[in-house]
Amino acid sequence: MIACGGGAVLDPENAEALRSNSVLILLTASIDEIVERTRDSDERPLLNVDDAQAEALLRERMPRYLEVADLVLDTTGASPTQLAAEIAAALGEST
């Protein structure tokens, strides 16, 4: 498993390299949840902005994210265990 930063698939070369031997899973959430999860995080400098700027960034990038994703899961309110089960089911694996 590779957890890429949000900008990784914006570069077509990166996206193609990832797609060549991977299943790309887009984990989404409501903008409120994204902002709450990343607020004051040094690991997400692009999201250390006000809510409107974070929402604008997501709105700008979402079409590309959806274009390259093989599977899209909304993580809003979901536990890691629930998400792992959904991913395994989608990939035809048992947990």
Quote the pLDDT of residue 76: 92
How big is the chain by its Cα radius of gyration, in Å?
14
| pLDDT tens, residue order, the chain (95 aa) | 778 877 889 999 999 999 898 899 999 998 888 877 777 666 655 556 667 777 888 899 999 999 999 999 999 999 999 999 999 999 997 55
Quote the pLDDT of residue 66: 94
Query: Is 6 inside any structural domain?
Result: no
Helix (H) or strand (E) holding 54: helix 51-68
The count of structural domains within the chain is 1
Residue 57 belongs to what domain range?
A: 30-95
pTM of the model: 0.79
Query: Is 56 inside any structural domain?
Result: yes
Quote the pLDDT of residue 40: 66
What's the count of helices (H) and strands (E) in the chain, helices before strands?
4, 2
Distance CA 55, CA 52 (A): 5
Distance CA 90, CA 61 (A): 24
